[in-house]
Amino acid sequence: MGTGLGYKCPKCDFKFTAYFGFGRTFPMEYAEAVQKAKAGELGEEIQTFFNEHTDGAIDAEHVVLCCEDCGHFREGMDLTMYIPNEKKPEKLEHGRWSVSCPFEGAHYVSWSDLEEYYTKYAEYPHICEKCGGRMKILHERDDMNLLCPKCRTPLEESGMYIRWD
C-alpha cells in the first residue's frame, strides 16, 4: 500500500503529487530495479555492490528525492543497499503479495524483510540531474520543505491525500 500527498505553490499554479511506499506491483518493480542495478544501468556503485554481495538487497520504496544544493526534486526509489544479518534464513519465503498481482514465487525483499534480516550497507548516491549535487531521500514522515521550481516559494500541502493500490 502506498500513499500520495499533494503539494501546491501559494503564488503560482505549480502542483506536485508525491507518492510514497509500495504498490501492488512491488515485487515486479523490485526485480526490475535489481536487474537494472546488476546491469550497471543505475551506476557503478550499486553494480559493484551486487557483484560483491550476491545476497544483497535494496530498498525499492517510492520516495521524493531533493537536491541539497539547488532544491530540485523528483520522485524515485530509495535504493539504499543492505547485506544479510545473522538472522536471515537460507531462503525467504513469500506468500501472495496482493489479490490482483500475486507474484507468488517472485524474488523480492520486502520492507519487513529488510528490517528483520538485513543490515544497512550504504545509501545509494542519488545525483541531481540539474546541478550534479547530492539528493537526499524524503519519506512521507519527513518535512518536505520543497520550493516551487517556478518561483522558489515554499510549497504547501494541498490537502489531497491518496491511498494507492
Residue of 95, 96, 60, 63 lying closest to 81 (CA atoms):
60
Residues 120-140 pLDDT 10s: 999 999 999 999 999 999 987
Q: Which residue has cell 524515485?
A: 76
Q: Which residue has cell 503539494?
A: 7
Please give the Cα distance from 82 to 55 (Å, whole number).
9
Global pTM? 0.84
Under-50 pLDDT residues of the chain: none
Residue of 137, 83, 139, 98 lying closest to 1 (CA atoms):
98
Please give the Cα distance from 109 to 49 (Å, whole number).
16
Q: Which residue has cell 541531481?
A: 128
Residues in the chain: 165
Question: Which run of H or E residues covers position 47?
Answer: helix 44-52
